[in-house]
Amino acid sequence: MSNEGKRVKVHYTGTLDDGTTFDSSLDRGEPIEFTCMAGQMIPGFDAAVKDLAIGETKTVRIPAAEAYGEYDEGLVQRVPANQIPNANQLPVGQTMYMMGPGGQPFPVIVREVTDDTVALDLNHELAGKDLTFEITLVEAE
């Protein structure tokens, strides 16, 4: 029976190809809740949950294109250093938050800091990575 359009609760653990866990509802002790196939989750995750039965566990490998997308060099933006307060103190490799047009914060990764520019990576931190999820359907309404 399809879970499409149903409110579902699932427990999951997401890992990278090297086995590193990047997220787990089990660690938080609470399943994630969403409407299946409503675009609230990455496409590959939604598709994996669509035909699960309550109590069933499935392990699925989701290619980058069906997860957070391929890495896009075009999303690395160079900003004049004089437009960023204390630019010379930004930690390379760290995530910082910028304000979007609607006032919503969004994460960017500092890739490089020079005297003149700061390179900010707007790609999702998991862009370009294939992901593996172990998913258990807890509830479907």
The pLDDT value recorded for residue 100 is: 80
Classify residue 134 as exposed, middle or buried by CB count within 10 Å of its CB (0-12, 13-18, 19+).
middle
For the stretch 21-43, pLDDT in tens is 999 999 999 999 999 999 999 99
Q: What angle do CA 35, 38, 42 make, to 5 degrees?
A: 95
Count CA atoms within 13 Å of residue 40 on its CB side: 15
What does the block give as tokens for 100?
Answer: 């979007």
The pLDDT value recorded for residue 72 is: 96
Number of other residues whose CB lies within 10 A of the CB of residue 129: 18
- Are 127 and 68 contacting, i.e. CB atoms less than 8 angstroms apart? yes
The pLDDT value recorded for residue 55 is: 97
Percentage of the chain modeled with pLDDT above 90? 87
Rounded Cα–Cα distance for residues 50 and 36 (Å): 6
What is the DSSP secondary structure assignment for residue 53, as one 8-state letter?
Answer: P
**pTM of the full predicted structure?**
0.81
For the stretch 94-133, pLDDT in tens is 998 888 888 889 899 999 999 999 999 999 999 999 999 9
